[in-house]
């Protein structure tokens, strides 16, 4: 039997809708499993499952499969995300009147749940910066964002303080803050073992520090979304109170249908609106979210004079890889070229002066002696050209490709082919007629043992 910290329960009695008995009973049950479907990469996977009420693409699963064994997962057909946190979609739909021409920062983004959700909502003219300060986690974020396949989602790895060098730059900032994690007690054994009042205090101070650091980067009238997976008022309502006392900011009320069973709360001092998810009321885990609008006058960073560095030769060599036209082709690293929306080139020139950009635009690959060597991410991109050579594979072949094992596959036509599973790109092979070379990057390889029964 799971025993929850009494001091936390005592604090939750301050919330009118809190019901100790049913809350404790819900913690004796397993966590709910859910996925969010990709809006563009269509796959049959989970389409018919029960929908998460507040998210069009959210689906509940009746059991937790081994996602690693599903090639559609590797292709980015869906993202495994906790259902309550998909409520971010509902909040953004209410607070954003237009999803075009926005600059959005997801400050604490790894492994990428909120970022893939935001990317699915934004128009291609908008730019999403997915940031993760911890380097090892940033590489997981980069992999997940690459799998999701949008060229207007870029990945950075910076301390929140660094963003103060970009005053008034962002229209929206999402801070899904590191927290004490009590909302995940059902999902993660360690969250319960490691929980302490001292850690809640520490997290609360860190959350204030993170918010203060990133505050200058939000433009006047810009939206701040603050979220945690903690039940502790010190990390939720009290942070809203702190924000309202410290800055010129106003709370935004979200209209939530009663049928959602989301608990609307008001912060004790400043009367700011917040939304709580309790696992005995919703089909999901513990979560807190609030949206606020910056009212403070903010000077906006003036961009230096802009001159495009788009390389026409690269466009000729690699343009065939993409569906979209009207793109710029820029050198984003040694021997590396990326395509991006022309309106984002000035952003790229500016941001690389201040941030550590791990990924900007869609990396296309590099020019070889005789031919273009396509980058892995082209195969996963929603912009990959329909005219590329696609080779359809079955599940066994797909998993062998993803494990970088010998594939039982003959491709008589020489050259580059995208390995395609149920119409979804997985990566590149190059056929030499009598054999094929697997170009899946080594660090993307499935490491899990797969038995004969799993191939089917």
Task: Give the interface with ligand SAM as residue ranges (CB under 6 A).
Answer: 85, 108-114, 132-134, 137, 160, 176, 178, 206, 210
Distance CA 282, CA 233 (A): 19
Instruction: Give 163's strand partners.
Output: none
Strands annotated E in 195-348: 218-228, 249-252, 263-266, 273-277, 287-294, 328-333, 336-340
Q: How far is the CB of 399 from ligand SAM (least distance, A)?
A: 26
Q: How far is the CB of 229 from ligand SAM (least distance, A)?
A: 6
The residues, any chain, with a CB within 8 Å of residue 413's CB and separated by 6 or more, are 389, 431
Instruction: Give 390's strand partners.
Output: 418
Judged by CB, which is closer to ligand SAM: 175, or 384?
175
Q: How far is the CB of 178 from ligand SAM (least distance, A)?
A: 4
Judged by CB, which is closer to ligand SAM: 112, or 168?
112
Instruction: Give 78's strand partners.
Output: 37
Contact 365, 318 (CB under 8 A): yes
Judged by CB, which is closer to ligand SAM: 179, or 418?
179
Strands annotated E in 102-217: 103-106, 127-131, 153-156, 170-176
Judged by CB, which is closer to ligand SAM: 125, or 164?
164
The DSSP output letter for 151 is T
Contact 281, 16 (CB under 8 A): no
Q: How far is the CB of 141 from ligand SAM (least distance, A)?
A: 8
DSSP state string for 375-405: -HHHHH-TTB-TTS-EEEE-HHHHHHHHHT-
Distance of CA 173 to the CA centre of its chain: 13
Q: How far is the CB of 213 from ligand SAM (least distance, A)?
A: 8
Q: How far is the CB of 371 from ligand SAM (least distance, A)?
A: 38
| Stated length of the chain | 456
Beta carbons within 10 angstroms of residue 40's beta carbon: 13
Judged by CB, which is closer to ligand SAM: 117, or 337?
117
Judged by CB, which is closer to ligand SAM: 134, or 448?
134
Structure tokens at 53: 């009420």
Residue among 32, 33, 31, 25 nearest 1 (CA): 25
Strands annotated E in 157-285: 170-176, 218-228, 249-252, 263-266, 273-277
Q: How far is the CB of 191 from ligand SAM (least distance, A)?
A: 11
Give me the active site residues, please.
Answer: 229
344 three-state secondary structure: helix
Judged by CB, which is closer to ligand SAM: 134, or 245?
134
Token pair 């000729």 is at which residue? 316
Q: How far is the CB of 39 from ligand SAM (least distance, A)?
A: 17
Structure tokens at 373: 């060597």
* Angle subtended by helix axes 113-121 and 87-95, to nearest 10: 40
227: burial class by Cβ within 10 Å (0-12, 13-18, 19+)? Answer: buried
Judged by CB, which is closer to ligand SAM: 106, or 345?
106
The residues, any chain, with a CB within 8 Å of residue 369's CB and separated by 6 or more, are none
């Amino acid at each position: 039997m799971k025993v929850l910290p009494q001091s936390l329960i005592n604090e939750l009695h301050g919330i009118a809708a809190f019901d100790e008995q049913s809350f404790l009973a819900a913690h004796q049950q397993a966590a709910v499993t859910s996925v969010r479907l990709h809006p563009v990469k269509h796959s049959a996977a989970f389409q018919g499952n029960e929908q998460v009420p507040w998210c069009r693409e959210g689906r509940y699963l009746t059991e937790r499969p081994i996602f690693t064994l599903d090639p559609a997962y590797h292709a980015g057909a869906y993202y495994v995300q906790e259902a309550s946190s998909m409520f971010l979609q509902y909040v953004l739909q209410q607070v954003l009147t237009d999803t075009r021409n926005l600059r959005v920062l997801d400050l604490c983004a790894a492994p990428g749940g909120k970022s893939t959700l935001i990317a699915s909502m934004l128009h291609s003219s908008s730019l999403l910066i997915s940031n993760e300060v911890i380097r090892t986690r940033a590489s997981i974020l980069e992999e997940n964002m690459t799998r999701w396949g949008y060229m207007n989602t870029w990945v950075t790895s910076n301390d929140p303080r660094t963003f103060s060098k970009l005053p008034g730059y962002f229209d929206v900032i999402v801070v899904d803050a590191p927290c004490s994690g009590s909302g995940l007690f059902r999902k993660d054994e360690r969250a319960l073992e490691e929980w302490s009042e001292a850690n809640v205090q520490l997290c609360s101070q860190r959350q204030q520090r993170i918010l203060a650091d990133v505050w200058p980067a939000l433009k006047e009238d810009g939206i701040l979304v603050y979220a945690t997976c903690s039940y502790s008022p010190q990390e939720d309502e009290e942070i809203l109170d702190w924000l309202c006392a410290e800055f010129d900011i106003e709370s935004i009320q979200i209209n939530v249908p009663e049928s959602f069973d989301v608990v609307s709360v008001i912060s004790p001092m400043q009367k700011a609106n917040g939304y709580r998810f309790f696992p005995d009321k919703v089909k999901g885990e513990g979560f807190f979210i609030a949206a606020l609008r910056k009212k403070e006058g903010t000077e906006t960073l003036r961009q230096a004079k802009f001159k495009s560095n788009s390389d026409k030769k690269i466009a000729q060599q690699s343009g065939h890889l993409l569906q979209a036209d009207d793109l710029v082709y820029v050198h984003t690293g040694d021997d590396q070229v990326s395509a991006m929306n022309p309106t984002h080139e000035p952003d790229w020139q500016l941001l690389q002066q201040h941030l550590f950009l791990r990924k900007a635009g869609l990396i296309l690959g590099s020019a070889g002696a005789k031919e273009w060597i396509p980058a892995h991410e082209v195969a996963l991109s929603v912009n990959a050209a329909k005219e590329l050579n696609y080779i359809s594979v079955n599940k066994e072949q797909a998993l062998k490709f993803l494990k970088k094992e010998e594939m039982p596959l003959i491709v008589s036509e020489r050259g580059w082919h995208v390995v395609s599973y149920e119409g979804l790109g997985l990566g590149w092979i190059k056929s030499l007629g009598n054999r094929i070379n697997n170009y899946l990057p080594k660090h993307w390889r499935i490491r899990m043992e797969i038995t004969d029964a799993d191939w089917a």
